[in-house]
Structure 1
């Protein structure tokens, strides 16, 4: 009986420790739900730099910063789309100035990349840049096993998500250091925080994990200089990237509108979180999802995400097949979702 009692007590202690660990993880996420006092972002400066501002989160963040009175340096690869967002900002905020910089961030770490970054440094020279939003990112190719995609596609993703983000931050930080103030916001991914793995998006997941780690170290490195560096880690946001997936989920009756905020809703929440710590998941709905995921064992999440992404694989294979069957003149950039925050 004594042996049985000791065995029972050991199991009880282990169970209590597990419950305590889960409770601590959930409570640490619930702290994020506490209301934050909005930061006066203009204390950082009068200009903001936004990469990837021509659609989705980047578009909405650029408009939100313009609404808050920032002048904008808009960095992207498509001149026509850059002009579109510039005109939209000017028409809704007459006092806001904009500058466009045509840079293909996928060329970073290539011979043409040095010239692209030189143009960016030249554009921000002498400007009171207070906020940098490193939003540009690639998620394409989507939902594939590692061996199925062309190596150059993975390389492009790494250049944009990892290398270009670092180079752009390095181009803007010297001015912030000189002025003794600034905020750098690097858009990562909630998948690197809420779940242990993201199979079939492996390179994307790994590159976004780099964003979180880089931001954390830079935050510690620069906070004494008056510069706040933050990784914002959204989960799914309603953008072109999620268009095909969300439509399929709606057909299956599994899609809940509240689980996927619009990019405008995300941008409003994101602006309020700037300056509040090195890592955040701005949207309330995403924070609640994060808490739920932290209450589940890793092996359960691994299995659930694998099954979900295998379904995504079928969806994107259909999209690729449909795109390949169309005449070349009908195929436009964006036929497949390619951006994710």
Structure 2
């Protein structure tokens, strides 16, 4: 007995579902392939020293610890001298003195002004004469957050732009020339899911706008310096358990498994260095990125 053909609507939906699953697989395939390969020896590929901005808490601290575990000596840059001393001592103790550290006290919100020139001079001195193989531009300001633009203190908004965009540019300009002369190095700029996964990020407008600058800068530098042996990469965290994630968002997360710990995120992030101009290192966060593409812009805006 002949079987009846499936309705067209059913066939169409089945085909759409198959295509959806195929795209999910293809999106996650690079992630799986990367983890099947032996991790790259970053220190051997790029150089003995790494500069990390904002290394005293959150992602910056975890990244500094991860790079130390991978054998890098570290130049640590932050505005708080005591916090720098604490993380520097913690790194040296964890590695029995095998990892050297240098600290630079610099308030990134003053870069480009007379007050910041002394700190930039200290940075240039700290990297002079050592082979800086990697720069991690992690430091950023997200507060004040969850405010309408007209309610925020304009001076704090300007300081946010200065740290997130202007200071990142200045620190990169201080480190990049020596990399270019040697013909090798890596620059990792920490971006934000607010610029790659959603069409708008209301109430955090200036923060997401400053991170959009970091995204474009990273992509252009990637093209500009790839031929000179320098890997420039934008790494995009979504939800990570750090102080940057507000308590309100943590309480409202429907899928806590999608919120990575800082240590888990940075372990994945280190593996991604040198693999493309943009990376969402954590597998769960890559899935979030993919799923976000299927939500219409108006729905993203309403949810935000």
Does TM, normalized by the shorter one, top 0.5? Answer: yes
Aligned counterparts of 1:130 and 1:75: Cα–Cα separation in 2: 16
Q: Is 1:299 aligned with 2:298?
A: yes
Aligned counterparts of 1:190 and 1:32: Cα–Cα separation in 2: 19
1:61-80 matches, cutoff 5 A: 61-80=63-82
Q: Deviation per CA, 1:80-123, whole angstroms, max 9, x where unpaired?
A: 00011101101111200000000000101222122221111111
Cross-structure match for 1:33: 31
Deviation at 1:147, TM superposition (A): 0.5
1:175-254 matches, cutoff 5 A: 175-242=178-245, 244-246=247-249, 248-249=251-252, 254=253
1:46-125 matches, cutoff 5 A: 46-94=48-96, 95-125=98-128
Task: Give the unaligned 5+ runs of structure 1.
Answer: 1-14, 306-341
- Change in Cα spacing, 1:135 to 1:220, as seen in structure 2 (3 Å) is same
* TM-score after normalising by structure 2: 0.88
Partners of 1:216 and 1:278 within 8 A in 2: yes
Cross-structure match for 1:141: 144
- Change in Cα spacing, 1:24 to 1:190, as seen in structure 2 (3 Å) is farther
Partners of 1:259 and 1:285 within 8 A in 2: yes
- Change in Cα spacing, 1:301 to 1:241, as seen in structure 2 (3 Å) is same
- Change in Cα spacing, 1:192 to 1:282, as seen in structure 2 (3 Å) is same
Cross-structure match for 1:283: 282
Aligned counterparts of 1:64 and 1:156: Cα–Cα separation in 2: 29
1:143-162 matches, cutoff 5 A: 143-162=146-165
Partners of 1:269 and 1:282 within 8 A in 2: yes
> RCO (CA 8 Å, sep 6+): is it higher in 1 or 2?
1
Partners of 1:39 and 1:273 within 8 A in 2: no
Aligned counterparts of 1:294 and 1:32: Cα–Cα separation in 2: 18
Aligned counterparts of 1:60 and 1:185: Cα–Cα separation in 2: 14
Aligned counterparts of 2:24 and 2:134: Cα–Cα separation in 1: 31
Please state whether the residue corresponding to 1:144 is helix, strand or coil: coil
Partners of 1:29 and 1:290 within 8 A in 2: no
Aligned counterparts of 1:34 and 1:91: Cα–Cα separation in 2: 34
- Change in Cα spacing, 1:102 to 1:130, as seen in structure 2 (3 Å) is same
Name which of 47, 50, 57 aligns with 1:45.
Answer: 47
Aligned counterparts of 1:132 and 1:24: Cα–Cα separation in 2: 36
Partners of 2:28 and 2:283 within 8 A in 1: no
Deviation at 1:22, TM superposition (A): 8.4
Aligned counterparts of 2:160 and 2:278: Cα–Cα separation in 1: 22
Aligned counterparts of 1:48 and 1:85: Cα–Cα separation in 2: 15
* TM-score after normalising by structure 1: 0.79
Cross-structure match for 1:314: none
Partners of 1:138 and 1:161 within 8 A in 2: yes
Deviation at 1:39, TM superposition (A): 2.0
Alignment RMSD: 2.2
Aligned counterparts of 1:32 and 1:199: Cα–Cα separation in 2: 32
Please state whether the residue corresponding to 1:112 is helix, strand or coil: helix
